Structure 1
Amino acid sequence: MPSIERRPLQKLSDILEGIIMVTKNGTSNGVKVAVLVGSLRADSLNRELAEIAVANAPQGVDVSIVDGLGHVPFYSEDVDSPSGLPAPAGELRAAVEAADALLLVTPEYNGTLPAVLKNAIDWLSRPFGEGAIKDKPVAVVGIAAGQYGGTWAHDDARRSVGVAGGRVVEKIAVSIGGAYQRFAENRPADDAEAVTQVREAVASLAGSVALVA
């Protein structure tokens, strides 16, 4: 049976305690996590994984999916200007800027991350040294058809977002493989193991915000 790659996480009770501390001592709205999905497909399993993160967010954590990545033009300094910034790119930056942490949910295309996600990271990396992603905790999870669950894509996404200025939470790794077989009859939301792993990943990511608050 295809497996989910596991790495040690903090105890969930300890993570949630840290989140509640941020909620009380920081913002009344708790920890905000923005989610970018690397698949634009209507029936995307990774989109469903992102929706699991939203539906199962721990108390004190607000998770929201940033839509519209398919409308963001390819990054170019020629169009990245205050006077003529494309609206979809501006909305992407604003959504991530307003968040405390970022969750990337992505499949694997030809051994790496999809272009739409790489493009979003490029936009979030600018202005250089001052991008919307700067110093925010970032985690990468996803589903892929291969037996290793898209680990090449996930590793590339971590590398790219780290260079872009994000603070990658390396201990969080949910890579679900064998997608066509595993979800031939059931959906990700019906997979108890997948739901648990995503919920713990979100809690750990939010806990990383608590550690630097």
Structure 2
Amino acid sequence: MSQTSKHIVGISGSLRKGSHNTLLLQQAQKFLPEEYRFTLADISQIPLYNQDDESNLPEAVKQFAELCHSADGFLISTPEYNHQISGVLKNALDWVSRPAVQTPLVLKPIAIMGSTMGMGGTARAQTNLRNLLFAMNMDPVNRPEFQLSQAHLKFDESGALTDENRLKILQQLIENLAAKVGQR
């Protein structure tokens, strides 16, 4: 029996060049089963949400919504700004939570993780994000929690995560996401 390819969409809450959250997503995709496909979403061109624009959706919103519709599951990596997720991440999720794009995230599996250059990891931002995912009626992977503090010290020149303990936790998170997606 042949297995159907599953599609995971990764979303980085950071637009910064060299973002550790984007590097985490690139590292994480290596742990997906071979038959899984991974796409890193580009949320940099999505305009600020305005309900008035729902009758004539901006092209970047249409493209992001189409990508989300094609996904069997999601992986978000968030920075922590003032104990919250980034504004660009919240904005992108607001757009795809709307009936105007047929709410493409509802009931889909999602895993979250995050990195920061500070000592606190992203625990508060992830709590904030979990509240948002609940409101959006998504199906989260609850364990393990993955938070990477002092990220600037934990990647090599090629962008590979060098912290062996964090790599094991990341692998388990991705295996749990793949298992949840595979059950659907």
Same fold (TM over 0.5): yes
User: Is the counterpart of residue 54 in structure 1 residue 29 in structure 2?
Assistant: yes
- Corresponding residue of 2:131: 159
Q: Distance in 1 between matches of 2:59 and 2:44?
A: 12
Q: Which moved more, 1:138-147 or 1:195-204?
A: 195-204
Q: Secondary structure of 1:40's match?
A: coil
In structure 2, the CA distance between the partners of 1:205 and 1:184, relative to structure 1 (3 Å rule), is closer
Q: Is the 8 A contact 1:58 1:199 kept in 2?
A: no
Q: Of the candidates 73, 87, 90, which is equivalent to residue 115 of structure 1?
A: 87
Q: Distance in 2 between matches of 1:143 and 1:171?
A: 16
Greater RCO structure (CA 8 Å; 6+ sep): 1
Amino acid of the structure 2 residue aligned with 1:76: N
Give structure 2 stretches of 5+ with no counterpart. none
In structure 2, the CA distance between the partners of 1:207 and 1:136, relative to structure 1 (3 Å rule), is same
Amino acid of the structure 2 residue aligned with 1:70: S
- Corresponding residue of 2:44: 70
Q: Secondary structure of 1:116's match?
A: helix
Q: Is the 8 A contact 1:129 1:165 kept in 2?
A: no
Q: Distance in 2 between matches of 1:53 and 1:86?
A: 30
Structure 1 residues 118-157: aligned runs within 5 Å: 118-127=90-99, 130-157=102-129
User: Is the counterpart of residue 42 in structure 1 residue 17 in structure 2?
Assistant: yes
What's the CA shift string for 1:27-73, capped at 9, x where partnerless? x22x2111100011101111110111223322232222112x11101
Aligned length: 184
Q: Distance in 1 between matches of 2:103 and 2:147?
A: 27
Q: Of the candidates 53, 70, 85, which is equivalent to residue 79 of structure 1?
A: 53
- Corresponding residue of 1:11: none
Give structure 1 stretches of 5+ with no counterpart. 1-20
CA RMSD of aligned residues (A): 2.3
In structure 2, the CA distance between the partners of 1:186 and 1:33, relative to structure 1 (3 Å rule), is closer
Q: Is the 8 A contact 1:139 1:158 kept in 2?
A: no
Q: Is the 8 A contact 1:131 1:165 kept in 2?
A: no
Q: Distance in 2 between matches of 1:60 and 1:184?
A: 28
Q: Distance in 1 between matches of 2:171 and 2:38?
A: 11
Q: Is the 8 A contact 1:161 1:168 kept in 2?
A: yes
What TM-score, normalized by structure 2, do the two folds share? 0.89
Q: Distance in 2 between matches of 1:129 and 1:95?
A: 11
Q: CA deviation at 1:124?
A: 1.3
- Corresponding residue of 2:171: 199
In structure 2, the CA distance between the partners of 1:129 and 1:164, relative to structure 1 (3 Å rule), is farther
